[in-house]
Amino acid sequence: MARSWRPPRLVTTMTPLRISYIGGGSDIADFYEQDRGAVVSTACDKYIYVTVKAHSPLFNEAYRINYSVTEHTDSLDDIRNDIVRECLRLVNVPAPLQVNIASDLPANSGLASSSAFAVGLLYALHTLRGEDVSAAQLAEEACTVEIDRLGHPIGKQDQYAAAFGGLNLIQFHPGGAVSIDPISIGEDRLRVLFRDSLVFWTGIQRAAATILTEQRAKLADTRHLVAAMRDDAMVLRDRLRANCTVAEIGALLDSNWRRKRELASSISEERIDRWYEAALAAGAHGGKLLGAGGGGFLLLLAPPEKHAAIRAALGELTEVPMAYEPRGTRVLYAVS
């Protein structure tokens, strides 16, 4: 007799972090509801891992949540991790449950780890329920959790980058619709793009909320800058498809980083400016801080023959090699 199918009791998902090149800030509703937004970003080979499993009733607790701390609680309302709490409210899976979270890189570093976590957790919960969900649904549900329910002052690009993976132009339309335009440039060109990219950990961790709150408050005065960054996202898409040089990409990143620094006072600081100018002096064509700014990872574009000089100029920082990830969130394994 054929064995009947039953939903899994343990699911692990793997969700990529992302590198955002140009257009960040135009994915916030305050902007795109009037002007349409656009960003160019790529998934990279650094990940958030989420495991959700049925928890034994012998532990006498409804929920155990393991991340940088461990939570034990009998009430969903008492879960302190707000993303876990609201994802469980949105996608109901009966307790008792254990949720384990791990990451390749530190949080609050500009690679969209919180959105990747939300996407990966939602995928695991749907899988536990035996539900097949699309990348678009996962991205929208993550936006619902982070933006609508929790009120985080963030945009919508990170959730879509985590759910879809790959290198994309992502556009944000009035009314909230999102369109994904994959940028297909071939494996050789992708290898060159990442070969010419240097990513350094500044050692500065910061929550994006403060920066983004100030950025939104100043939008009436800076909307023209955000619109120019949005337009350059379209230019970058076209240049990538036209087999442009690293110098052309770097020049776009440089002009956008200089605009971005005007959007809020805490996007950069003296140390970051010093590191960036030292990299340019050593041969980088351009770059930016990844994410909202204030710290995290510094991305630089430069030809390989300049890399040694740039590494020497930024000797106090830690380089983190990164590679292209074509896939979005996925289930690593599920156990029935």
- The Cα–Cα gap between 143 and 84 comes to 14
- The Cα–Cα gap between 318 and 147 comes to 32
Pairing of strands 167-172, 63-66: unpaired
- The Cα–Cα gap between 259 and 229 comes to 8
Look at phi and psi of residue 291 and say left if phi exceeds 0, alpha if psi is from -120 to 50, else beta: left
CB 197 within 8 A of CB 204: no
pLDDT tens digits for range 269-296: 999 999 999 999 999 999 999 988 888 9
Q: Which domains does the chain have, with CATH numbers?
A: 10-185+328-335 (3.30.230.10), 187-319 (3.30.70.890)
Give the single-character DSSP code of 148. Answer: I
Pairing of strands 97-103, 63-66: parallel
Q: What is the pLDDT of residue 221?
A: 94
- Inter-CA distances, 168 with 11, 19, 60, 192, Å: 28, 11, 46, 17
pLDDT tens digits for range 114-171: 999 999 999 999 999 999 999 999 999 999 999 999 999 999 999 999 999 999 999 9
